[in-house]
Structure 1
């Protein structure tokens, strides 16, 4: 019996070892297919279509090369305070693009790990991706840490749910609502200016890269939460704290799976995320009660009120489901993340550019005086007008300045789409499922073939022929994206930026501090690497 037992045990051991070996072999083969054979086959297929690029490297693709280029490019500033500033920032910000375009052409292949990414600059291909065949492509999925910040709102949604949310959220940014937001934005800016340590004739140095973050946070809180402003401020302060955790994580060496480990930073980040959700849930329930007892509808004019009003509507089984409380929480997070950082970055670079170019600063100020009057009284001797959206639309020069700022220093330097299935692009290229298509916004905005020989110069007059209005379907100028997924809050961002700049121009002249170092860099969005200290002088 013992020998029989030993025989059975021996057989089971052999079977177990065989199964383990088979599983190991299967796993190794799958990894080799994923990390080597499939990428090399795709690389050859694209080469046969005359799309080439730097060779695929096992596991990391071209990431190591790109990181090396980025580190080298950001190691030195573009210029010193005493020299002329250059706006040719593409080699510093998108450092891999100029050398690889020169070698492989304007349409080339690169690799993010084992994922193929085609870089596309040709206008006909871009139009097909965003317009004529946009249904064939999905939005690129954000990094998990970014998704934690922005929530599962419009930025991360796709398909029918995205279409429904887009329809609901876009109503918040209609003309009537924007008109009502102007006094709140002006109030935020004026209150922040009053905190500056200035006397009537004193200069003050302000790092606008930090100050504009606070201004836009306050203004967006008023726009998002309105009568729940105090509670909303607390929520957004928590999200700003979470943003710091994410920024620090991006600056550290990437370790796969590190975000799941219970480190001190991760535990703090998770705690903040829970606090944000709890606070928003409480605020939503409180506002619901207010709205049910508010026949005037005054509590529905901000983002939160509008989303809750939509969620309270009854829907039939045949209709699209209404928004859930979780949906509202995610849209509030998205609104804060996208709205705050896009607008603040635009304001930072516009101020820096106006400080660099006093001639345009003077032109913009004279226009502001004509529309708003001076700080104490307008040209007719009356007190300053209360700003309205109609006043802002009269600021044609300032609109050209804002557009030129967005051209030279777009907050988002590239957009990415992913092929949902095998697709043919423009009848020329066969794109396999899962391939990413990258449209380099920064490169388009700095292309001399599209903008002329003065492409790297700050020249707002180039927008004069369109009255300061951006081109709707022109791929030359796409700071807010293109097609159906164009930024839904674009008009609010432009309105807030122009109103803020107008209020500052009305009260101060400004120049760059000697401490300013021109070094644009990218960490989530385009920002000044060493801050943006600006010296402000009150006007007489």
Structure 2
């Protein structure tokens, strides 16, 4: 009797799980497709399990197979399947990310609603890419009250007064790189060929090179992952997940050692008083009773999680912004000359620059804004609908993914004018709102309460580096350079 009962329970459990799987993989996607199509949304029909994933992979492979012209629009290259879908079905369209529909939100006002209502629209990487979740921790993974509490705690670290204190640290790190570049330039006055990007993570992250190496490898694994996750796949002992687990453990170990080494230097007063972001995180330990080991361990854990987020962001996002700014100035020599003339007027031969100096660099400020418009760090914002909800005229079922293509918003001629694809920093001479003809459509770091907390720091890092670079070098694009922008999950 007992054996029969156990068998019945086992069969029931198997049947329940089989139904859940079939519902996830077929019935639910078909229901969601019917709801979306009833509202006039168009897209490919759902294809079992993979949706549009296979076609998307092929189109990306083709798009990335060759470089483009440096003045070409990067939109079709960096999001080719999205561009194809919009061209085929129009603005009211969707695509499939595995068994989930992804709806394109093209209206700027609806974009702002999605980015502001963070309790209704959650970050989609949590359900679409288990490996990417290992790259980030802390603030970006929180929702609701936990997010609100942590954001309030971290906001003061990125206030302008804190950034002002970090200018000298930025300058010191920048000068070290520029000194190395100077040694690579021939002394006879002939030009030297330097690949600048590999040096920039050391500047924008201020972390040991080994950390960048393992973050790069984990990023590569995340980028190679399929664009949706099968429930439970992260627990399978595959080569990909074994390596991801090992890297995550190594990151934790690396940051733990960094914390201990920095605390030791602070205690022995080996730190010269120049602040960086790492020190700001460690200041939280001053508020914890050192005798309370549990609280101390919890704070250390939180610092590690924040380090994974902010140093990963600094590793790529800020260094990309510096790189694109240098490239644009190398191509548009007239703006390089104008920016350099302004830098020399403001700085002269000053050994140390300060925040007030940065505030006087109007031309460089316009250039950086134009680069942020053409090459936004967040080319798109993705969210997932937490509970069924309405968005404008749309009814969105729970689990629907949303795509906010920022890069296309930044290229909309109805907002920016017919010259939107031209490099014209002067459009920002009277501010961001004027540049967008009265539209609040400049959102390179997101919008609203969940905009990128590190945005100001990234811009300041860029301005400091480019300012000092302009003062020491005249530069142009190398003949060997190939223009091939691509998308990375942590851009």
TM range (shorter): 0.7 to 0.9
Q: What corresponds to 2:213 in structure 1?
A: 241
Q: Does 1:53 align with 2:43?
A: yes
Give per-residue Cα distances to partners, 1:357-408, cap 9 Å, x unaligned.
11111111111111112xxxxxxxxx42521011011111111111111111
Mapped to 2, the partners of 1:70 and 1:500 lie a distance apart of: 33
The offset of 1:292, in angstroms, is: 7.8
The offset of 1:183, in angstroms, is: 1.1
Q: Does 1:336 align with 2:311?
A: yes
Structure 2: gaps of 5 or more residues:
290-294
The offset of 1:16, in angstroms, is: 7.7
| Aligned positions of 1:350-429 closer than 5 A | 350-373=325-348, 383-426=349-392, 428-429=393-394
Mapped to 2, the partners of 1:18 and 1:134 lie a distance apart of: 44
Mapped to 2, the partners of 1:409 and 1:126 lie a distance apart of: 19
| Aligned positions of 1:59-208 closer than 5 A | 59-79=49-69, 85-131=70-116, 133-142=117-126, 143-150=129-136, 152-196=137-181, 197-200=184-187, 201-208=189-196
Give per-residue Cα distances to partners, 1:402-452, cap 9 Å, x unaligned.
1111111112211112222111112x1111122222111111111222211
Mapped to 2, the partners of 1:452 and 1:37 lie a distance apart of: 45
The offset of 1:90, in angstroms, is: 0.8
The offset of 1:41, in angstroms, is: 1.3
Give per-residue Cα distances to partners, 1:12-64, cap 9 Å, x unaligned.
68x88776665555444332221112111111111111122121111011112
The offset of 1:213, in angstroms, is: 2.6
Contact kept, 8 Å, 1:172 with 1:306, in 2: the verdict is yes
Contact kept, 8 Å, 2:25 with 2:48, in 1: the verdict is yes
Structure 1: gaps of 5 or more residues:
1-7, 80-84, 222-232, 316-320, 374-382, 527-540
Q: 1:171 to 1:519 in 2, by over 3 A?
A: same
Give per-residue Cα distances to partners, 1:140-185, cap 9 Å, x unaligned.
23433222222x2112222222222212222112222211211111
Given the alignment, which residue of 250, 261, 264 partners 2:237?
A: 261
The offset of 1:249, in angstroms, is: 2.2
Structure ID, larger Rg? 1
Q: What corresponds to 1:35 in structure 2?
A: 25
Structure 1 SS opposite 2:125: coil
Q: Does 1:523 align with 2:481?
A: no
Q: What corresponds to 1:82 in structure 2?
A: none
TM-score (structure 1 length as normaliser): 0.79
Given the alignment, which residue of 418, 424, 427 partners 1:462?
A: 427
Contact kept, 8 Å, 2:380 with 2:404, in 1: the verdict is yes
Q: 1:248 to 1:332 in 2, by over 3 A?
A: closer
Contact kept, 8 Å, 2:131 with 2:244, in 1: the verdict is no
Give per-residue Cα distances to partners, 1:491-520, cap 9 Å, x unaligned.
111111011111111111111111111111
Q: Does 1:499 align with 2:484?
A: no
Q: 1:371 to 1:469 in 2, by over 3 A?
A: farther
Structure 1 SS opposite 2:429: helix
Given the alignment, which residue of 301, 307, 312 partners 1:326?
A: 301
Mapped to 2, the partners of 1:212 and 1:287 lie a distance apart of: 22
The offset of 1:98, in angstroms, is: 2.3
Q: Does 1:483 align with 2:448?
A: yes
Q: 1:470 to 1:176 in 2, by over 3 A?
A: farther
Structure 1 SS opposite 2:420: coil
Q: 1:193 to 1:454 in 2, by over 3 A?
A: same
Answer with 93-102 or 337-346: which moved more.
93-102
Structure 1 SS opposite 2:43: coil
Mapped to 1, the partners of 2:200 and 2:396 lie a distance apart of: 42
Structure 1 SS opposite 2:101: strand
Contact kept, 8 Å, 2:130 with 2:234, in 1: the verdict is no
Q: 1:167 to 1:63 in 2, by over 3 A?
A: same
Structure 2 SS opposite 1:497: helix
Q: What corresponds to 2:292 in structure 1?
A: none
Give per-residue Cα distances to partners, 1:207-248, cap 9 Å, x unaligned.
1222223332xxx32xxxxxxxxxxx4xx4332121232244
Q: 1:524 to 1:136 in 2, by over 3 A?
A: closer
Q: 1:344 to 1:307 in 2, by over 3 A?
A: closer
Mapped to 2, the partners of 1:441 and 1:303 lie a distance apart of: 28
